[in-house]
Each structure stands twice: as C-alpha cells, then as structure tokens.
C-alpha cells in the first residue's frame, strides 16, 4: 500500500517525463524497494517489446502527417513474465534498480548530449568572423539559399511587428545529418534556430519543450517531419516567442 | 504475442502506445499531435498499458505460442 504513490510515478519516470528532482526521488526509492524495482523492470521490458513489435503497425492517415516514419519490421521480443509470479529475492533489488537506473540515465544522457552539441554549434557559429553564410534579413532571400544544400525545405516567419531580426543562415550538421542554422537577433542577443529532418536516432527520441544546456535555454519541437531547436542566452519567454512565430509558419 | 495484443487493443490505446514507445514522442508532443490535453495523454497511456498488460498476462503464463 505504501508503494502506491511510487508506482503511480513509474511510467512517467521510465518515459523521462518527471522533473530531475522527482526522478531522483523515484530512483532512490527503487534502490531500496524490491517490489517497485521488479515492477519497474517489468515495465521496461514491456516498453521495449512494444517499441519493437509496434514497428509493424502503420499509423492511420490522420496520424501519418504528425509522425515521422522509420518502420522496420522486427521480431517481437520474448518477455519473461515467469519472474512476476516468483518472490523476488532481496539480493536482486540492487541489480533491478541498477538496470532501471542505467536505462533512465542512458536516455537522459543521450538527450542532454544532443542539447550540448547544439549549444556548441551555436557558440561556434557566433565565434567565427562569419556566423552566417547567407547574410540577409529577408526571409525570401535566406530560405531559397538553402535549396540544394539540405534535403528538405522550411518556412520562415514574417517578423514585422516583432522584436526579432533575421541575420542570416548557414548549413550545419548534427550527427552527420545536414540541417539549417538560422541566426536571429533580439536586442543584443543572438539566437540560433536549428532545423533538421526528424528521422535520426539522435533527434527522434528527444522530448519536446524547454530545457537548458551549458546555461543556454533551448526549446525544441517536431513539426511536419522536421525537428526544430531554438537556442540562445535569452530568457525562456523570449525563446518561446520566437518558437511560436516559427510554429505559426508551417 | 505482443504484436497480437497490440492489434487487439482499441485504436486510441494502440495509437497512443505507438506514439510513446515507437515514435518516442513526449507527452507534450502526443498532446499536440492528437489535440488532447496533457492529462488525457497520461490517463489514456495509463489505461492503454493496463489493457495491454491484461491481454498479455494470461498468454505469458501459458507460455510462448
């Protein structure tokens, strides 16, 4: 009975949807509770099985527009449920909780790695004498410049009436995938907008929303098969205002 | 076995599970994609996983087909 509140958080914990503080609390509980550790490991096994078996299903027409594809037929994983009807020896607590911790930590590290790399790309671009290869505040000049340089296209927002100014753009790479980097100015601050196809493992597993890396604020989302990242040293509200403008153009 | 169980789930349950586990979308992304509140995403995911477990449990206890 006392574990019910923790059980209620397990799915969100394994989905990476808890705040860092809550995740630490759940992780600490798992290290001391055999029953919850076993439950968490069972849920991890189901998650992996669904991730594997679920690739055989095509999304409905309604969903297809929202979801990037990467369907690969895989043999469903066999789950060993027999352990669920056995008493879990106390000695397994540590092993189980470590397995869950490794899973959660690896996912979190992978996500943080991408955000750190984007922050690096942002800093590196601004540190050069030519941060942008196409220098223009006209979106009708910047967008066509990318034709033939990256394998997708995108729309840029009308900035009239906003505080943002487009400085230009350049081609960039994330995990060997080409993408667009656009640099905007807000007051004295430069903000990078990165756009990539949302099909690489590096980006496809990221949770949308605001985050931080190397003290930069970052907001990311998926739209029409593209993954957008807005990176800058401005506040999250300013970043969100630019993100909102970009979302409105697609 | 899991594939068969997924096929037997109601479509809203199957879709939300696939968005979460296969597409690895966040709750927020799913809410936006399906135009439903975040709380609905969480409750639907919970019910979908529960339904999947209930479908799988007797089959797993019987052993692999």
| Contact between A11 and B46 using a beta-carbon 8 Å cutoff | yes
Chain B partners of A222 at a C-beta cutoff of 8 Å? 25, 29
**Distance (Å, rounded) from C-alpha A42 to C-alpha A59?**
26
* Domains contained in chain B, CATH given: 2-58 (1.10.10.10)
Is residue A196 assigned to a domain?
yes
pLDDT in tens, A134-167: 999 998 999 999 999 999 999 888 888 888 999 9
Closest chain B CA to residue A220: B29
Residue A114 C-beta-side C-alpha neighbours within 13 Å: 28
Range of the domain at A232: 109-247
Chosen domain end from A90, A123, A156: A90
Q: Which sign, positive or negative, has the C-alpha torsion A48, A50, A52, A58? A: negative
Same domain for A173 and A63: no
Between these two residues, A109 and A37, which has the higher pLDDT value?
A37
Instruction: Give A24's pLDDT tier (boundaries 50, 70, 90).
Output: confident
Number of domains in chain A: 2
Same domain for A154 and A208: yes
Query: Which of B18, B38, B62, B63 should be substituted to probe chain A, the one whose Cβ sees the most A Cβ atoms within 10 Å?
Result: B18
Task: Please compute the mean of the pLDDT values over residues A1-24 and round it to a whole number.
Answer: 86
Residue pair A169/A132 in contact (Cβ under 8 Å)? The answer is yes
Same domain for A231 and A122: yes
Same domain for A159 and A80: no
Same domain for A204 and A135: yes
**Distance (Å, rounded) from C-alpha B20 to C-alpha B30?**
8
Q: Which sign, positive or negative, has the C-alpha torsion A142, A144, A148, A150? A: positive
**Distance (Å, rounded) from C-alpha A137 to C-alpha A68?**
31
Is the pLDDT at A86 greater than 50? The verdict is: no
CATH number of the domain to which A238 belongs: 3.30.200.100
Closest chain A CA to residue B3: A53
Is the pLDDT at A200 greater than 60? The verdict is: no
Is the pLDDT at A195 greater than 60? The verdict is: yes
Phi, psi (degrees; rounded to nearest 5) at A149: -100, -30
| Contact between A54 and B6 using a beta-carbon 8 Å cutoff | yes
Q: Determine the pLDDT at residue A203.
A: 58
**Distance (Å, rounded) from C-alpha A250 to C-alpha A59?**
21
C-alpha dist (Å) from residue A102 to A98, A105, A142, A151: 6, 5, 43, 35
**Distance (Å, rounded) from C-alpha A88 to C-alpha A96?**
10
Report ipTM (2 d.p.). Answer: 0.89
Chain B partners of A50 at a C-beta cutoff of 8 Å? 2, 6, 17-18, 21-22, 52
Instruction: Give A83's pLDDT tier (boundaries 50, 70, 90).
Output: very low
Is the pLDDT at A46 greater than 70? The verdict is: yes
Instruction: Give A206's pLDDT tier (boundaries 50, 70, 90).
Output: low
**Distance (Å, rounded) from C-alpha B63 to C-alpha A158?**
60
């Amino acid at each position: 009975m006392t574990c019910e509140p923790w059980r209620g958080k397990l799915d969100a914990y394994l989905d990476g949807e808890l705040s860092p503080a809550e995740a630490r609390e759940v992780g600490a509980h798992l290290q001391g509770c055999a029953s919850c550790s076993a439950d968490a490991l069972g849920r991890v096994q189901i998650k992996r099985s669904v991730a594997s078996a679920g690739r055989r299903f095509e999304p409905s027409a309604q969903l297809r527009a929202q979801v990037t594809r990467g369907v690969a037929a895989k043999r469903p994983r066999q789950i060993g449920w027999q352990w669920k009807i056995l008493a879990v020896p106390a000695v397994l607590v540590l092993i189980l909780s470590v397995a869950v911790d490794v899973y959660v930590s690896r996912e979190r590290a992978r996500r943080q790695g991408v955000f750190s790399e984007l922050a690096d790309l942002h800093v590196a671009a601004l540190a050069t004498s030519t941060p942008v290869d196409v220098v223009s505040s006209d979106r009708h000049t910047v967008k066509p410049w990318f034709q033939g340089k990256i394998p997708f296209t995108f729309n840029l927002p009308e900035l009239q009436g906003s505080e943002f100014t487009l400085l230009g753009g350049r081609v960039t790479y994330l995990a060997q995938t080409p993408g667009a980097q656009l640099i905007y100015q807000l007051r004295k601050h430069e903000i990078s907008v990165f756009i990539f196809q949302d099909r690489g493992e590096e980006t496809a597993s990221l949770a949308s929303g605001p985050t931080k890396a190397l003290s930069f604020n970052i907001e990311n989302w998926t739209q029409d098969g593209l993954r957008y990242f807005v990176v800058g040293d401005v506040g999250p509200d300013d970043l969100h205002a630019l993100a909102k403008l970009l979302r409105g153009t697609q | 076995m899991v594939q068969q169980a997924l096929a037997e789930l109601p479509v809203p349950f199957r879709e939300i599970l696939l968005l979460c586990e296969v597409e690895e979308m966040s709750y927020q992304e799913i809410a936006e994609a399906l135009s439903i509140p975040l709380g609905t995403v969480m409750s639907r995911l919970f019910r979908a996983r529960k339904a999947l477990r209930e479908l799988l449990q007797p089959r797993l206890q019987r052993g692999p087909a």
